[in-house]
Amino acid sequence: MARTLIHAPSTARKGEVMEIRTLIAHPMETGYRAGSDGRTLPRDIIRRFSCRYNGEVVFSADLYPAISANPYLAFSVVANASGTLSFTWEGDNGFAQTENASITVA
């Protein structure tokens, strides 16, 4: 399991635009670099990120080798109901990780 950092408010007023910031520890090996033996290192990247709010996809992104190591993504979500925000990262070599954050909307 890769380490993740998720910045999301735990409480919000209804209709408020919440700022969400996510970061996941991942080398994002481009597949263009050579290793110490001179051979090209195989590609190992996160290809897809998605954010679901109570099951519905709010934001998703396709990532390419041009994304820095430890991919950081910041976006926003409108608070309309209490529930969970679920963040999913999928990538090469069967990489898949999901993290959840619960939110209370007053």
Q: Residue 89, interface with another protein (CB under 8 A)? A: no
- CA distance linking residue 23 with residue 51, whole number of Å: 13
Taking the complex as a whole, the smallest distance from the CB of residue 67 to another protein amounts, in Å, to: 6
Query: Which residues in the 7-46 window bind another protein by CB under 8 A?
Result: 17-18, 30, 32-34
Q: Count of residues binding another protein (CB under 8 A)? A: 30
- CA distance linking residue 91 with residue 28, whole number of Å: 9
- CA distance linking residue 60 with residue 82, whole number of Å: 21
> Could you list the residues that contact another protein (CB under 8 A)?
17-18, 30, 32-34, 53, 56-69, 71-78, 80
